[in-house]
Homo-oligomer: A and B are copies of this chain.
């Protein structure tokens, strides 16, 4: 193996935790009190410990900011490794995407709050790039997986779900089409319950839930499926 590394290098993990709040896709960030980048907003995370892998590390470090039981999905996002992405000693970052359902309201420390993903004020280091990558990964996966389960409450009307998809995707979504395509692919199932109409009247609306709460591809080409396996199963384990 070649060996050109001489500069001291540390490894950190960072998490872009996203939630739909007030109809907007938002990201959890904390305000740095110390230099470098004091006063700027940073993603939760920190140095990898000697005795942990990156998955254990991100869980440990997120637990310092938020009740991790409220996080419905975590996945590796990408490595950010530009040589001077932080001042001083080099840091390689493994970034994660985390999602919180909209009916959770996690208790967070005084230095930590939520910002719209497209309007993080004074972001620290390259963290705005990580937020964008997380947003784009979420948008892509909403279009070919059942990942909506990780943003939505346990039960929802189609109208509520449409608002979640529109907020995450950043553009309007048709409720009729959403119900048709997600029901046809067996992503959504009716709970059998109805909710009363709002003050404006109208008919009671049916409540739905996601059929599964682990990630799967919702429309893997059926012809590429191994004989006898259900849709999505064969693609599930390999999703990044």
- State the A residues within 8 Å of B (CB): 1-7, 9-12, 45-55, 61, 64, 76-79, 81-83, 90, 92, 94, 133, 136-137, 139-140, 142-144, 165, 169-174, 177-178, 180-181, 217-227, 234-240
Q: Of B5, B53, B240, which contacts A83 at CB under 8 A? A: B53
> Roughly how many angstroms separate A231 CA and B219 CA in the complex, as a whole number?
15
**Known contacts being A94-B79, A238-B140, A240-B137, is A50 close to B6, with CB within 8 Å?**
yes
B residues less than 8 Å from A172 (CB atoms):
227
A sample of 26 inter-chain contacts (CB < 8 A) reads A4-B47, A4-B51, A5-B50, A7-B50, A9-B9, A9-B10, A9-B11, A11-B11, A11-B92, A53-B81, A76-B78, A92-B92, A137-B238, A139-B238, A140-B220, A140-B234, A140-B235, A140-B237, A143-B235, A165-B224, A173-B223, A173-B224, A177-B223, A178-B223, A178-B224, A181-B222
Are B144 and A235 neighbours in the complex by a CB distance under 8 Å? yes
Are B4 and A45 neighbours in the complex by a CB distance under 8 Å? no
Are A90 and B50 neighbours in the complex by a CB distance under 8 Å? yes
Shortest beta-carbon distance, A236 to chain B, in Å?
8
> Roughly how many angstroms separate A61 CA and B181 CA in the complex, as a whole number?
45
Are A2 and B83 neighbours in the complex by a CB distance under 8 Å? no
Shortest beta-carbon distance, A13 to chain B, in Å?
9
B residues less than 8 Å from A225 (CB atoms):
143
**Known contacts being A12-B1, A226-B169, is A140 close to B221, with CB within 8 Å?**
no
Shortest beta-carbon distance, A112 to chain B, in Å?
14
> Roughly how many angstroms separate A6 CA and B48 CA in the complex, as a whole number?
10
B residues less than 8 Å from A46 (CB atoms):
1-3
Are A4 and B224 neighbours in the complex by a CB distance under 8 Å? no
Closest partner residue, chain B, to A166 (CB atom): B224
> Roughly how many angstroms separate A196 CA and B170 CA in the complex, as a whole number?
51
**Known contacts being A220-B143, A221-B144, is A81 close to B64, with CB within 8 Å?**
no
